[in-house]
Amino acid sequence: MRSAISRSLLPLLTVMFAIMAVGTSRPAYAWWMYTPGDTVDNVGYKPEQPIPFSHKLHAGKNNIPCQYCHSAARRSSSAGIPPLNTCMGCHRLVATDKPNIKKVTEHYNNNDPIQWIKVHDLPDHVHFPHKIHVKDKADGGAGIECQQCHGKVQEMDVVEQVAPLQMGWCIGCHKERKAKLECVACHY
Amino acid sequence: MSTTREPNQNSETPFAPVPGSDDPRRGQEVFAPVGGPFEAPAKNVVSGPYYKGVEERLPELAQRPADPSSAEAKSGFNVDRRDLLKLFSASAVAGTAACVQRPVEKAIPFVNQPVDTWPGEPTHYATTCGDCSAGCGVMVKTREGRPTKLEGLPDHPVNAGSLCAVGQASLQALFHPERQQRPTIRFGSRVEASEWNDVFENFAGKLTSDKIGILTNGATGHRHGFFKEFLEKVGSNANRLYTFDSNSLAEATAEAHRLAYGLSAIPRADLSKAKVIVGVGADFLDVGTSLLYNTKGYTEAHAFRGPDKAKHVQFESFYTLTGARSDQRFPIPPGSETLVTLLLVNALLKNPSVKGSAGARSQAQAVLSANSGLLNGAYESVGFTEANFDKLAEEMLTAQAVLLAGGSAFDENATTLQLAAILANELIGSYETVLFLQKDWLPAPVATGDLQRFLTDAKDLDVLLLIDVDPVFTLPPSWGVTELLQKIPTVAVLCDFPNESAPFAKYVLNTHHWLESWGDEQSVAGLWSVRQPSVRPTTDSRQAEEILMWVAAAAKKPLGYENYRAYLKKKWEDIRTVVGRTEVPAESYFDLVLQHGFDGRNSTQAVPDLSSNLSSSFRYVDTGRGGLRLVAPLDFRLRDGRHAWKPVLQEIPDALTTVTWDTWVALNPVTVAKLGLRKFDLVKVEGPAGSFEASVYPLPGLHPDAVVVPRGNGHTKQNGTIQGGNGINPLVAFGRAQDALTGAPVTYGQAVKITATGKFFELAQTQKHNDIANRKDIIQEIPLATAVANMGKTQDLDDVPNLYPAMPKQQHRWGMTIDLGKCTGCNACSVACSIENNVPQVGRGQVLLGRQMHWMQIDRYFSGPVEAPEVTFQPMLCQHCAQAPCEGVCPVFATSHDPEGINQMTYNRCIGTRYCANACPYKIRRFNWWTHRWNTVGARPQDRNPRALNPDVTVRTRGVMEKCTFCYQRVRDARHREKLNGIPVGQPGNVIKTACQQTCPADAITFGDLLDTTSPASQQRKDMRAYLALNGEHALKEYGLKTMPSVSYLAKVSLTAKPEHGHGGGHGEQQGGHGEQHGSQGEQKGGHEGQHGARRVKKAKKNG
Amino acid sequence: MSDDSKLWSKTISDVNSEILVNIENPHPAYYVALAFAITTLLIGIGFVALHFTYGLGLWNFRPPVYWAVDITNFVFWVGIGHAGTLISAILFLFRAKWRNTVNRSAEAMTIFAVICALVFPLIHMGRPWHGAIWAVPLPNTNNLWVNFRSPLFWDVMAISTYFTTSLLFWYMGLVPDLASIRDRVTGFKRLVYGIMSFGWRGTSKQWWHYEAGYGFLAALATPLVLSVHSVVSWDFAMSLQPGWHTTIFPPYFVAGAILSGCAMVYNLLLPVRYMFKLEKFILPEHLESLLRLTLLTSTIVFYAYSLEFFVAWYSGNPYEWALFEKRAVGPYSFYFWVMMFCNCIFPLALWSRRVRNNIPVSFVICVLVNVGMWFERYNIILSSLVEDFVPARWGHFQPGLWEVMITLGSFGLFTTFYLVFVKFFPVVSLSEIKLIMPKPLSSKASGGAHHHG
Amino acid sequence: MAKNTNPDSGIIGIFRHLDTVCAAIEKVRVRPDFAGHEVFSPTSYHEIEHASGFGASPVRAFTLVGALTGTVTGFGLALACDWDWPIIVGGKTPGIYSLPAYVVLGFEFTILLGAIATVAGMLVMGRIPNPKRRVLDVRTTDDKFAIFLPGAQLASPQAQFLRDCGAEEVRNT
């Protein structure tokens, strides 16, 4: 029966590897990206904003540092959308004739905040403190560039989500940098 | 200790011997006077970290409501919606999952961002609590303009950082869904919501008469002065301001001191100076005057520090938290407090070492002889012998003693009792040593006799304003207030929540809650605390004072102030002078005060000699003896009912009965048996004026004559779904009777009849079993001698053999120590925890099913005989076991261990198998059976307003487990401060305090890093008193469950417990006199009835 | 063989014709039973739907009782599910011939009982929509796998493995029988049965590999049977709860499971035997053997109950002893005594051959055993939870409407499945019963008994 | 023998008795002109296996490999996950110290993959499902035995041989 056994090994191995290689690759990828009940990967989310603010123009062409406007990022959990007075700091004088700037001025004068659409939106059970990530290593922070999570915003006319912002993605970086991996690091 | 007495043979209600009364150690313990100043002087103004008024700081918020969907208003509220989406995506599986997009969220920035305010970071405001007249300083933590947590102002002399349960719960007033949104005017039977301007116009039309009166509650600040100014401006006179507070203890005390010394003031009790504290019906740790201040002093004196631990003897007819804390507690017949005090005065006078001036002694003698008839047979009626009192008197004269009298239920002799107490305190020399009348006394919040004056005058009034007071609910109906109100042509009710007087009012004007208001309090003479709004008004309400201002303006009789803030600012200019802040410019002084919260200086007043006419003022009304007597104390959570609309207060259990949401009739189990009743039988209680029905709760330790029905509940259904329809108001049974000296209503001691109705009504209790069931490693109690002998020794509770290798050492291990000897059961920790951690209230029905969600629950165990049990409170929270049974059983790592010692619970990973809850030996995990709302009591459950939640803590939805996280958000903040600001955790400026620890007035809770040998938490864990619950007896190497909790308890040090048989070290001999090593079990004879038949388990720590 | 052959009044030629004909025309009672089962199932589904809509709060869970009827039902159904594979696998390895008439229905019972059992962990979860995915070791975007150290995860693995293996085992046994049906029917039915039988042809080589595969499957399933309920018992034993945290649990649970399984097989077989007129195939001797097994496991369980008490007392652990004291005389002692009488006392009657041969009495005893086994689990779960370590947490428990209705629904589910099964599949294994029947020999040994059907 | 493309085409001899068919098998299996014959039986009589000279079935190799794969997968999965992200649970370090807990996983995977491989082996070795083959005689799944010789004709000597061996009926398929 030795021959029978050796003959049986071929189909056996075929079955095993076929299942593992062919059968699992595509579904595994699908599963990875769209685990039901899991956070949905929102890469490519690119909503239209009430004012077509161009990061490409401000951060790219004019080379304004991110934290010039998003100054809360190094002080607070929230990176913060700059208040209108930050806009008006320049636009009282700069490009005041542009229709959008007029709109901004109007908002400012009416004390009416602009309702921006959130692009990068973590689930509410995740606590992501910007300050500890953003601050320089010398100051006790992680010294992470904004672009690492938000992409090359300085090249975007319309801000778009580039990172999946899923837990596995966060964990990958935390493992790499030997940052805290405890659940309470983000969930409490 | 000397209050031992023989079992009384003559009394109708035989007493079992008091626990340990046969202990020969008694009477031998001598307390050496110990220093340790606990002065709390008013502090100098410094520039604190707190901000001034919200309008000034955040103009945007003053103009438009914070948008809940703003980027920074991250509330966790959306979890719900997402879960639903996930449910859909789960059912649609991968094919459609790609189509699922998150809901669009908006990010709304400031228009003008205020300097130093960062979205996502908290801003703190200093203010003053307005929930009672104690005037505690409060620090309001706000995020994006919303208060998220109240904490005591750390350096406020009254509360020094702590807050009581009621103060903590104040936050629920904001965003309460059932607050009146707009003012209403009644036209006949029609009630119309109105605009404020119309109200002012309409009301101004009524101010034509000069007979305008104001009835308001007690206050110590400038409020009453402002009301008087208003009354005078509109043509009435200042005498038509009537003050009334259901808690008439302050009134009685002030009146007694007026009669005795001519000073209408309340002495400040600095209990830290006392070595023997005698309470006669006293409730100074609970609803009494300035409970936080008292608790701090009490803890200082009474907590175990060494052999000089103060002794607390309590005489009371019903159970108060104060009595529960005492070392010896003697039940006395209801209404016999004055008798007991006089008998004590008698015993003191007889003692040769009696202190006090000759005048005081002669006055005491005069009072005794004038009331000699009263004292005939008094010993029999109170149930003790003369020798008992002599012994106690001896003890009170040996060490520094103080006698505090009067609690939260008031009979005809409430003021007389205070007079007797004054005599006793004179004789033991406690004035100006423990009780301070001369220096930093407490001003009386109400004027004596105002209620009677109001009742007399009200008939003639044309306009009556009821400001923050509810006479219809808080006075017995037999007083005829409703008829009176109906006779007054125009009644206006100004209140922050609709009350029972509102149906009788033409105008029901919704006022700001104190968190939205301006104001001030003079909690201690010379100490002024300011109140400022910390949030933009959450409803269309107005501040009461400003309503008056604008009504007066509409009536063309303007008061001349821009707003109430301007009035206060003007008044505070005087304070600036008084306090002597001349170096501060007048314009910026008020702003500086707003930053700091309070200002003041030490005050002194001359105290005249004791009145030589005291015996004539001493008026004792004999209300008879025996029979069942109704006692209606103020509930420590709901007070007189004014806080009944806050669900968190309804849901924290009464400390002794553990009942929530209901009113109960507490009876001694002996009485219950005698009446042929059972637990939860619905009984009819018939008093002189009426009757009510409520369920029986057998409570050990009550005097058998006492029928204790707490006040606070019993609001009508019109008053909202949270308070409406819960329980009954026991005042309906009280006939019209008043305090003989102040005219305050009687809520104590009227004879009642109890009849069974045959019905059964289960009360929603949070604890169904009352004794410790002979389990030795849950509650530990050690005798003083053992504790003293163990002082200075240390142990390592974590030194336990383990098969597995030790965990790698981390930077920290977070841990907590809870001193059972300090916990008073006040439940402030529980409320603070609920507010900080968004713990939902579940409603009566769910509590009945045991589904309350408190992360911090105070367990109460009775031990000893049913007539005179001992109570131990054990705050129980997640023990954060190093070897946690809950973690291993979770299939999805929803609960696992942080290497730094926190048993972490990841809500969003939880799938709700509930095995962790089953596996938890402490059973402190809580499961979300539903998506909880504000309350589930009423017909219209309200969604939890996301603005009322703490954005730092995830809101849990249906189907997930939750539990104490050691306030990880605070740990996280401290870690960030450590990293970013360079202050190591635990060092000044970066101390982590959990919400429960922060608010605990008794400092029973200590949180810290167990690996940091200098941290208080690790020091206490090494104390020989420390033990780990359910982890056996460490000294005997019996390791119990070996869960190795990070929470350790410090055993209660008992003055009555005996050292257990067979001590290793035999330290008893060293201590001499503490002898008696037998009686290993400490089992007392006495009641074993039902489940109250608590067997007493005393546990001695071993010496090894 | 020669002894056994005297029992049989039928030959292998009668097997297909009579058994399959009976399946096609069941007794009218069958339809009544089916209607009843489906109604119960629908009610159960309705209550589960409400439960999913509004939440777990509808149940009468009263903390500290976080598990009660849900997990009772789970363990009960898993236990029921044990007899099938036990009879198929272990008795196969032991070559117990009587198993061949009862194994098919026992295996089907196993499958359906395990389905019922799987329902409960799913619906008892607070968030089943997450749990159904997260509790299974699958790659995910969280980069977080399951806790391989959790008894509940073991349970997921054990039950799903058991279900898969039992299903394979059951279906493998069905394949030749489906081929038999295929060869009796025509048209569409033939196509369906043909597909279901995988084109089984019955060649000697197929039988050879089939027999070997069946044997290995039995060899794999044997430790599995013993492990599944051991793992289920660890759902309790891995916690520290008094009454749960004992090493006796695995054997004790396995014995209990087999006890309830055998009793359930008996309870199911009798009506089916009656409705499908199988008296000539499922012989009284086979039923009696089943009862002997019931009796054996009942005594093991009795021993385990007693030993638990002894150990609780002997260990000197006050928490443990307090619990057992309460089990016997405490507020929930009723359940304990139901369990004792039904599982230990009543089955003692089975020592008597007369009782074993008295089908109605035996039937009642088996029903009682099932009741007793349900209450055993209820008793274990409830008494340990309701009053455990900290007296302040002690509570009460009583099942509510949802508990009762969903339990009934699970019985409806089980009965529906079973009744549908017996209608469309041979309730007695055709190929295996042929094996234990007199062989079709041409010599004298076969006697004159056989004839063509 | 001219090979027919249809594997089902041939002659089949129906037997009624077990002993008869066994005797026939023993004879035909040594005859070269019966190469490729198939025996049908209603159930798995060991007598037929013995007569056919079958030894141990190769299915056991499937079982072994499947089971071992399962063991490795089970333990490997658990240890790999621990290595990837060690999460402390109940005061125990993950990894090697948690190995006792992984026994269950390893065991269950052993059984699961073993069982699946066994069934797969049975199907593979039994060449089912095979859509090209059809049922030759419905009676073989009932109570009849049969010997099938593909490609043979009714008139061939093999048919006669089957009749001689006691076949009740020999016919073309």
- Mean pLDDT lowest for which of B75-84, C36-45, C138-147? B75-84
Q: ∠ CA A130-A136-A140 to the nearest 5 degrees?
A: 85
Over 80: is that where the pLDDT of B413 sits?
yes
- Which one, of B521, B597, B598, lies nearest residue B219 by Cα? B521
The reported pTM is 0.87
Of C13, C165, C204, which is closest to D115 when you measure between CB atoms?
Answer: C165
AA identity, residue B7: P
Beta pairing, strands B870-876 & B435-436: unpaired
Do residues D42 and D70 share a domain? no
CB C90 within 8 A of CB C169: no
Which tokens hold the place of B528? 């002024």
For residue D167, what pLDDT band results from cuts at 50, 70 and 90? confident
Do residues A58 and A93 share a domain? no
Over 70: is that where the pLDDT of C279 sits?
yes
pLDDT single digits (tens) B977-1028 = 888 888 888 888 889 999 999 999 999 999 999 998 899 999 999 999 999 9
- Mean pLDDT lowest for which of A157-161, B553-557, B773-777, C220-224? B773-777
CB B71 within 8 A of CB B553: no
- Residue of chain B minimizing CA distance to A120: B105
SS3 at position B875: strand
For residue B672, what pLDDT band results from cuts at 50, 70 and 90? very high
Contact C206 D141 (CB under 8 A): no
Chain D hits for A175, Cβ within 8 Å: 85
Computed over its alpha carbons, how large is the radius of gyration of chain B? 29
Do residues D115 and D153 share a domain? no
Do residues D114 and D66 share a domain? yes
Taken in order B515, B517, B523, B527, the sign of the CA dihedral is positive
pLDDT reported for residue C4: 58
Do residues A134 and A111 share a domain? no
Residue D131 domain-assigned (yes or no): no
Residue B910 and residue B60: Cα distance in Å, rounded? 39
Q: Who wins on pLDDT, B175 or B1?
A: B175
- Give the best residue of A7, A8, A180 to mutate against chain D (max D CB count within 10 A): A8
- Cβ–Cβ pairs < 8 A, chains A and B: 176
The CATH number given to whatever domain includes residue C404 is: 1.20.1630.10
Residue A86 and residue A96: Cα distance in Å, rounded? 15
Chain D hits for C231, Cβ within 8 Å: 104
DSSP letter (8 states) at residue B944:
P
Residue C117 domain boundaries: 2-137+148-430
Contact B102 A40 (CB under 8 A): yes
Chain D hits for B898, Cβ within 8 Å: 88
Do residues D70 and D115 share a domain? yes
Residue C365 and residue C434: Cα distance in Å, rounded? 31
AA identity, residue C105: S
Which tokens hold the place of B594? 């707003």
Do residues A38 and A49 share a domain? yes
**Number of domains composing chain D:** 2
Q: Who wins on pLDDT, B472 or D167?
A: B472
pLDDT single digits (tens) B586-599 = 888 998 888 888 98
AA identity, residue B684: K
CATH code for the structural domain at B781-802+813-1092: 3.30.70.20
Do residues D63 and D121 share a domain? yes
pLDDT single digits (tens) C383-419 = 999 988 999 999 889 899 999 999 999 999 999 999 8
Q: Does A42 touch chain C (CB under 8 A)?
A: no
pLDDT reported for residue B24: 32
Window 944-1003 of B: residues touching A by CB (8 A cutoff) are: 952-955, 965, 968-969, 972, 976, 978-982
For residue B805, what pLDDT band results from cuts at 50, 70 and 90? confident
Do residues A173 and A87 share a domain? no
Beta pairing, strands B691-698 & B781-783: unpaired
pLDDT single digits (tens) B611-645 = 888 888 888 888 877 889 999 999 888 888 889 98
The CA distance from A31 to the nearest CA of chain C, in Å, is: 7
pLDDT reported for residue B32: 23
Residue C183 domain-assigned (yes or no): yes
Window 1016-1035 of B: residues touching C by CB (8 A cutoff) are: 1029-1030
**Number of domains composing chain C:** 1
Beta pairing, strands B895-897 & B903-905: antiparallel
Cβ atoms within 10 A of the Cβ of A57, count? 12
Q: What is the mean pLDDT of chain B?
A: 82
Instruction: Enumerate residues 6+ apart whose C-beta is below 8 A from B431.
Output: B267, B425, B437, B438, B607
Q: How buried is residue B562: exposed, middle or buried, by Cβ count under 10 Å (0-12/13-18/19+)? A: exposed
Could you say which residues of chain A have pLDDT below 70?
A: 1-41
**Number of domains composing chain A:** 2
Residue A112 and residue B627: Cα distance in Å, rounded? 70
For tokens 């005390």, name the residue: B253
pLDDT single digits (tens) B1043-1066 = 999 999 999 998 876 555 433 333
For residue B455, what pLDDT band results from cuts at 50, 70 and 90? very high
Superfamily name with CATH number, domain B249-441: Dimethylsulfoxide Reductase, domain 2 (3.40.228.10)
C-beta contacts of A82-90 below 8 A and 24+ residues apart: A82/B109, A83/A113, A83/B109, A83/B110, A83/B111, A83/B112, A83/B113, A84/A108, A84/A113, A84/A114, A84/B109, A84/B110, A84/B111, A84/B112, A85/B110, A85/B111, A85/B112, A85/B113, A86/B113
- Which one, of C133, C386, C369, lies nearest residue C258 by Cα? C369
Which tokens hold the place of B602? 């030490």
Residue B133 and residue B469: Cα distance in Å, rounded? 13
Residue B676: φ, ψ to 5°: 70, 30
- Residue of chain C minimizing CA distance to A37: C130
- Mean pLDDT lowest for which of A105-119, B402-416, B736-750, C9-23? C9-23
- Cβ–Cβ pairs < 8 A, chains A and D: 32
CB D14 within 8 A of CB D137: yes
DSSP letter (8 states) at residue B1038:
B
Residue D29 and residue D13: Cα distance in Å, rounded? 15
- Cβ–Cβ pairs < 8 A, chains A and C: 42
Contact B969 A188 (CB under 8 A): yes
The CA distance from C78 to the nearest CA of chain B, in Å, is: 18
Cis peptide before B471, with omega less than 30 degrees from 0?
no
pLDDT reported for residue B612: 85
Residue A28 domain-assigned (yes or no): no
To the nearest 10°, report the CA torsion of B763, B767, B770, B771: 170
Do residues A111 and A130 share a domain? no
Over 90: is that where the pLDDT of B175 sits?
no
Contact B898 A184 (CB under 8 A): yes
pLDDT single digits (tens) B386-399 = 898 999 999 999 99
Do residues D99 and D75 share a domain? yes
pLDDT reported for residue B940: 44
Residue D134 domain-assigned (yes or no): no
The percentage of chain B sitting over the pLDDT mark of 70, rounded to a whole number, equals 85
Residue B381 and residue B372: Cα distance in Å, rounded? 15
The yes-or-no answer to whether B629-765 and B781-802+813-1092 have a common fold is no
Residue D146 domain-assigned (yes or no): yes
The CA distance from A170 to the nearest CA of chain B, in Å, is: 16
Which chains touch B (3+ CB pairs under 8 A)? A, C, D
pLDDT single digits (tens) B906-934 = 998 999 999 999 999 999 999 998 877 65
Chain B hits for A127, Cβ within 8 Å: 952, 969, 972
pLDDT reported for residue B67: 35
Over 50: is that where the pLDDT of B117 sits?
yes
Chain A hits for B76, Cβ within 8 Å: 124-125
Q: Does B928 touch chain A (CB under 8 A)?
A: no
- Residue of chain A minimizing CA distance to C129: A37
Do residues A91 and A170 share a domain? no
Over 60: is that where the pLDDT of B1088 sits?
no
Residue B493 and residue B509: Cα distance in Å, rounded? 6
Residue A43 domain boundaries: 33-66+73-79+117-188
pLDDT single digits (tens) B943-988 = 566 777 888 898 888 889 999 999 999 999 998 888 888 888 888 8
Do residues A56 and A127 share a domain? yes
Residue A13 domain-assigned (yes or no): no
Taken in order A29, A32, A37, A42, the sign of the CA dihedral is negative
For residue B942, what pLDDT band results from cuts at 50, 70 and 90? low
Which stretches of B657-759 are DSSP H helices? 669-674
Q: Cα–Cα distances in Å, from B735 out to A177, B650, B688?
A: 75, 28, 5
Window 90-119 of D: residues touching B by CB (8 A cutoff) are: 90-93, 97
For residue B580, what pLDDT band results from cuts at 50, 70 and 90? confident
For residue B241, what pLDDT band results from cuts at 50, 70 and 90? very high
Residue D50 domain boundaries: 10-54+139-172
The CA distance from D69 to the nearest CA of chain B, in Å, is: 24
CATH code for the structural domain at B629-765: 2.40.40.20
Residue A9 domain-assigned (yes or no): no
CB B861 within 8 A of CB B770: yes
Residue C445 domain-assigned (yes or no): no
Residue A1 domain-assigned (yes or no): no
- Which one, of B193, B806, B1019, lies nearest residue B540 by Cα? B193
Q: How buried is residue B15: exposed, middle or buried, by Cβ count under 10 Å (0-12/13-18/19+)? A: buried
Q: Does C164 touch chain A (CB under 8 A)?
A: no
The CA distance from D62 to the nearest CA of chain A, in Å, is: 7
pLDDT single digits (tens) B511-534 = 999 999 999 999 888 899 999 998
Q: How many CA atoms lie within 13 A of B334 on its CB side?
A: 32
Instruction: Enumerate residues 6+ apart whose C-beta is below 8 A from B123.
Output: B51, B57, B117, B141, B142, B143
Residue C437 domain-assigned (yes or no): no
Which chains touch C (3+ CB pairs under 8 A)? A, B, D
Of C129, C139, C143, which is closest to A31 when you measure between CB atoms?
Answer: C139
Contact D90 B897 (CB under 8 A): yes
Across C262-269, average pLDDT: 90
- Mean pLDDT lowest for which of A137-151, B15-29, B317-331, C320-334? B15-29
Quote ipTM for the complex. 0.89
For residue B664, what pLDDT band results from cuts at 50, 70 and 90? very high
Chain D hits for A5, Cβ within 8 Å: 58, 61
Do residues D67 and D92 share a domain? yes
Contact A8 D117 (CB under 8 A): no
Residue B248 and residue B476: Cα distance in Å, rounded? 14
Q: Does B118 touch chain A (CB under 8 A)?
A: yes
Q: What is the mean pLDDT of chain D?
A: 85
pLDDT reported for residue A18: 63
Query: Which class in CATH covers the domain with range B42-71+106-243+443-524+527-601?
Result: alpha beta
CB B941 within 8 A of CB B934: yes
Chain A hits for B978, Cβ within 8 Å: 140
pLDDT single digits (tens) B130-153 = 888 888 999 999 888 888 999 999
pLDDT single digits (tens) B262-283 = 999 999 999 999 999 999 999 9
- Which one, of B308, B22, B313, lies nearest residue B1076 by Cα? B22
Residue B897 and residue B905: Cα distance in Å, rounded? 9
Chain D hits for C13, Cβ within 8 Å: 142-143
